[in-house]
Chain A
Amino acid sequence: MSKSNDVPLFKGVPEAKIRTRKRRISIVWLVPLVALAIGGWLVYKALSEKGPTVTITFKSADGLEAGKTKIKYKDVELGLVNSIVLSKDLSQVIVTAELVKQAAKFVSENTRFWVVRARVAAGGVSGLGTLFSGAYIGVDPGQPGTPATHFQGLETPPVVTTDLPGSHFVLRASSLGSLNVGAPVYFRRIEVGQVVSYQLDGDGQAVTVKVFIHDPHHQLVRKNTRFWDASGLDVAIGADGIRVDTESFVTLMIGGIAFDTPVNMEPGEPAEENDVFDLYPNRESISEKTYAHKSRWLLHFDSGVRGLKTGAPVELQGIQIGQVLDVSLEFDVDKAAFRIPVLIETEPDRLKSTGEIPQGAEGQKVMDYLVGKGLRAQLKTGSLITGQLLVAIDMHPEAPPANINWEGRYPELPTVPTAMEEITTSLTQMLNKFEKLPIEQIGNDLRDTVTVAKQLINSPDLQKSITALNQTLDQAQKFVAALNKGIAPELKTAVSNLDTALIQAQKLTRSLNSDVAPQLDRTLKELQAAARSIKVWAAYLERNPEALIRGKGKSKRR
């Protein structure tokens, strides 16, 4: 109140300038300064957290969305897809993604990217979570290497990521069979690994299958471990009925591999990463091929070898010791003859010997000796139904002497003809003998004889003779009839006389029977009694021979 009253109102008097105070910077400028600081900090943070930008090519951008699809490793977000564009030739999709700064350390040429989607396969179901959250890009850092910014995305997720402990092994197979990436690897029916990848060799001759065995099972793989294809069903029909065997239900559908170290072998050195193994077609074949030593022999057969196939068994005394490798046909120009060289492979280790089997030159001597004793190769029928042949090596002491031909690429073992061949040969010989018989001449003679007989039959003399014979027979008949009439009555009387004589004889016999028989019976009885007394006497005499001298007396024994 007092202030306002003090001020007088003077007009025309200039007012002193009041705003002489130096303008200080207002405190309100702190607000934009703070804003600037916050903004600057945000920019710095964004820049410092900015990681490398990478481009990944995929065949399809199915499920990917620019600005939304994330890149995850172990479910930790490592980046975000910025843009998805088509390549110039429209064949691929180029995904540009920005990674976090942390990722810069491990993104190298070995890093792999793939799209994680829900997958339902025979082997299992994966990525179900992506059904709700959408697909994301999975990343496997891989081994450290030179940094890279461009990557080729995998179409299928890798089975094994770098951080999994275990070992990779390489299997070589003649065919892939029903194996697939992700197919299980079994050891004693426990799933211990998976098929990681497979590829055809450059020359197309074999397939390379890569498997991964998890830790600690990878230690079970030894240098001499054998892998086999455990796909499908193993049906065996034996004396104990039908046996159906499979590693697991899964292998029925997607195939699988099993491995084991043969029990009859010492466990070898532990196998190293990326060691190469053969993939055997089945379990049986792994035990068949445990023989390291192999020797090859050449056999020459002159006869046909229809039914002898590559892989046919070579048997010694009925036990398989090898197999047929090759059957071909050869023309010998000098002899102008065909012969069939058969290459066989034997595994001498299958023989168990009491002593050391000599090798090298010694071995040759032993073989020479055996061949001298009659060791021969022979073709035998393995099955009568299929006509399959096999090569049997046996002792044939009766065979003509022969030697091993040690010259040439493979030693040549002498052969003997097939049992069948022998039969054929003897049959041929028999036929030859038949051929030599003068069949034509014999025929001619026979025909002549028949002709003569015919002439004889048709001759008029024979007719006459037959007529004469007829007449003779007629006369004979008449004669017999006359005889019948003349002699018959006399004969009748004679017969009746004889009859009476016989009756009288009968009467005589009957009288004899009734009169003589009783007497005879008595006589016989007496004779019987006499005989018995003689028997008694003889027995007594035997016991008491002195009775002959002393007469029958009281027995001393009594």
Chain B
Amino acid sequence: MTPVFQTARDYGLISCHSCHLLCQSTKQPADMQCPRCGARMHDRKPNSIARTWALVLAALIFYIPANVLPITTVISLGKAQSDTIMSGVIYFIHTGMWPIALVIFLASVFIPLLKLIILIFLLISVQRKSSWRQQDRTRLYRITEIIGRWSMVDIFVVTILVALVHLGGLATIHAGPGAIFFGAVVVITIFAAMSFDPRLIWDTEEIIHE
């Protein structure tokens, strides 16, 4: 039913990631170099699954303090109030600003978690060499890559607030330790998504094909 796709690797060809020059791959795939721009070349991202796994696990670990520790501390008229991400969301829901609550929830809680879950799903499915709905899984991967950076909205808001709100005794905002962990989660998931090679999803096809 599905047409038989032929990949560059089938023909012993390899494309440079930097200058996109098409070359023939050598028998020593670990030490290949682009003959034109000198970049390192590999037909698949090296060690992709292990790296992704490591980064995903690290992100998962950081995800816990990011949500438990306060992300901001607002000192207003001598009254200090620390807020975690969830308490901020709850605060906005209570004050009736549910669109803001929704944005924060989506950007800060839902998306990072969704990314992590998708990546884990992809990793497991690739490792099991599953050929189940490969197109959808590739789409999922693209979604993770696109939406991942938007999680940083939260960190931007915090940094802007900390920089702007310096009203002395009236109000001051400090970034909490949660912000650092949250930033770490976002960055690590971006790297994790980067280190995952979506071509691995299709490599099962070739194996079957071979």
Contacts and interface: CB of A to CB of B under 8 A. Distances in A.
A177 interface: no
B176 interface: no
A134 B51 CA distance: 49
A68 B81 CA distance: 7
Contact of A35 (B24, B57, B77, B81): B57
Nearest to A21: B30
Contact of A133 (B24, B30, B78, B87): B78
B35 A42 contact: no
A4 B57 contact: no
A35 B55 CA distance: 9
A116 B24 CA distance: 79
B78 A132 contact: yes
Contact of A7 (B12, B47, B57, B59): B12
Contacts of A129: 78
A35 B62 contact: yes
A354 to B, nearest CB: 74
B64 interface: yes
A18 B29 contact: yes
Interface stretch (A26-34, A281-289, A427-435): A26-34
A3 interface: yes
Nearest to B27: A18
B35 A1 contact: yes
A32 B55 contact: yes
A39 B61 contact: yes
B123 to A, nearest CB: 13
Given A39-B62, A39-B65, A28 B54 contact: yes
Contacts of B81: 68
A461 interface: no
B65 A132 contact: no
Given A133-B78, A133-B79, A35 B61 contact: yes
| Residue among B23, B30, B51, B54 with the highest chain A CB neighbour number at 10 A | B54
B50 A29 contact: yes
B193 interface: no
A474 interface: no
A334 interface: no
Interface in B51-94: 51, 54-55, 57-59, 61-62, 64-65, 69, 77-79, 81, 87
Contacts of A38: 61-62, 65
Interface of A: 1, 3-4, 7, 9, 15-16, 18-19, 21, 26, 28-32, 34-36, 38-39, 42, 67-68, 129, 132-134
Given A3-B26, A19-B29, A28-B54, 10 more contacts: A3-B35, A4-B26, A16-B27, A26-B47, A28-B51, A35-B59, A36-B61, A39-B64, A133-B77, A134-B79
7 contacts: A28-B50, A30-B54, A32-B54, A35-B58, A129-B78, A132-B79, A133-B78
Interface of B: 12, 23-24, 26-30, 35, 47, 50-51, 54-55, 57-59, 61-62, 64-65, 69, 77-79, 81, 87, 184, 188, 195
Q: 9 closest A-B pairs (Cβ-Cβ)?
A: A35-B58, A32-B58, A32-B57, A133-B79, A35-B61, A132-B77, A28-B51, A4-B24, A31-B58
